[in-house]
Amino acid sequence: VTTSYIIPALRDPHQHLREDLELQHTVEAAELWCDTILGMPNTREPLTTLDRAKQYYLGQVRAYTTHLTVMPCLYLTEDTTHEQLKEAADHGINSVKIYPRGKTSHSQHGIRNYTLIYPQLDVMQSLRMTAHFHGEHPESDPWTGERDFYTQIFPAINQAFPRLRMVLEHISTKEAVETVLKGPGFRVATITPQHLLFTIGDLLQDLDSALHCRPALKETPDQRALQSAAISGDPRIMLGSDSAPWKLHKKRPTTARAVIPCGCWTAKYLPIYLATIFEQLGALDKLSTFAHHNATQWWSLRPTSRCLSLVREPTTIPHLTEGDYIPLCAGATLPWSVERHYT
Ligand code: NCD
Ligand code: ZN
């Protein structure tokens, strides 16, 4: 007997679309299963100004999309001005990304000292903009970075800006889960498929650079906390795939001492990863809450007529996808397939 399961098209408020020719692959993959995404602003020349953001979202990205809504996001620096934030908000850019400087891909313009951005957070709070935090401490190592952010930086921000709308991105620890679940309904967190499916032990087992992402994968108790949050149906916990394409030669360099970039490419098989883990957790009925309804509600998005059907027939994830990107679970056979029904 074939089991199949209909869910609405995914809504994913965290994808890296990159730029130029890469857009062809990223947008095509995003459109396969999502009707709405938020496109991250850490392009090579980051989207730190309204002009640059307009050029990217309305020019480059739009040229490649046919039926995908891409929510825009501004890249905050320590020098972003009040006027720049106001101007962005006036032009419909209501999301602002806050990167810890130097801790992830293209984050060299990010924040070193969070007290310096209190004036900007204040403006964002009064304009009802959303602060998207990459929650890692800019002075910590990859293992302690997230815990240090939530214990040393976040509490003061939380207290100083009690009305600021926040998305705590790609949470990876039980401390971060507790933080969001203690907070108000206008503060949400996103979770990636890799943090639900894998732990640091899986990465170490084969020293698999395809699993190298920021925040780093953590231990089983953290993974369990993320999994329970994801299947809880809580409106504050939602998908944010953090799909980040990296080509084979970057992820598996043959040159000695090459720096391996962080990020997992998940857009192309996203519903399959989610169905696999939600089934393992006995919670397929919570998948659409996590991957569609919670984002719909929080961003007040229009309902969709697009559906996906998940079919319980195996899919073998290829070693590489078109464009030479390494997908998450490359080479593995996962128990689900997916088809789309778009009108
Ligand atoms: C992302 C990327 O490659 O752009 N990498 C990652 O490990 N998650 C950046 C980010 O979201 O941190
Ligand atoms: Zn990201």
Say if CB 175 and CB 150 are below 8 A apart.
Answer: yes
Residue 58 identity (one-letter amino acid)? L
Give me ligand 1 centre to Cα 104, in Å.
6
Does the pLDDT of residue 343 top 70, yes or no?
no
Catalytic position from the list 141, 242, 285, 324: 242
| Predicted local distance difference test score (pLDDT) of residue 251 | 95
Ligand 1 pocket: which of 12, 15, 16 to mutate (most atoms within 8 A of CB):
16
Half-sphere exposure at residue 121, Cβ-oriented, CA atoms within 13 angstroms: 22
Looking at all shown ligands, the one closest to residue 18's CA atom is 1
What are the pLDDT digits (tens) for 201-213? 999 999 999 999 9
- 24-38, 102-116, 165-179, 247-261: range with lowest mean pLDDT: 247-261
- Residue ranges lining ligand 1, Cβ < 6 Å: 16, 42, 104-105, 134, 213-214, 242, 244, 262-263
- Total-model pTM: 0.98
Does the pLDDT of residue 11 top 90, yes or no?
yes
What percent of the chain has pLDDT above 70?
99
Active site residue 242: yes
Mean pLDDT of 45-57: 98
Q: Specify the residue with its C-alpha closest to ligand 1, atom 4.
A: 105
| Predicted local distance difference test score (pLDDT) of residue 266 | 98
| Predicted local distance difference test score (pLDDT) of residue 257 | 81
